[in-house]
Amino acid sequence: MKRKTGTPRIYLASSGTKTMPVANVEERLLSLLATLEECQAVLMDKASFEAGRLLSLAILELRMELHKITDSELRALCDLMVTEDRVEQDTRTALVRSLPPYLKLIK
């Protein structure tokens, strides 16, 4: 038998997704998502909190792909949440200023 020279070809199990039906691809992505979430839970609880946070970014990216959410839509949502948070914080600050001194929280 003749020995092959050069670097071996890398075969990825997911490399054949281009010819798969959409339902099968989504099913595989959902399975991958479940596995990543299990790994993240283990990392956050016992191993490495930072690694778990990095894995959460991969989970977010996969969820965005599954639900066909674009980067610009995510950015718009984040901007809206920050704006609402600021309004809520300003409202709380105004409420504290309007309270009589004996009702203000002392830290």
Q: What is the per-residue pLDDT across 40-71, written as a single tens digit (0 to 9) for each?
A: 998 888 878 888 889 999 999 999 999 898 99
> In the chain, what are the domain boundaries?
16-69, 71-100
Query: What is the 3-state secondary structure of the chain?
Result: CCCCCCCCCCCCHHHHHHHCCHHHHHHHHHHHHHHHHHHHHHHHHCCCHHHHHHHHHHHHHHHHHHCCCCHHHHHHHHHHHHHHHHHHHHHHHHHHHHCCHHHCCCC
Q: What is the per-residue pLDDT across 74-87, written as a single tens digit (0 to 9) for each?
A: 899 888 888 888 88
pLDDT for 87: 81
pLDDT for 98: 65
- Indicate the average pLDDT of the chain: 77
Is the pTM above the cut of 0.75?
A: no
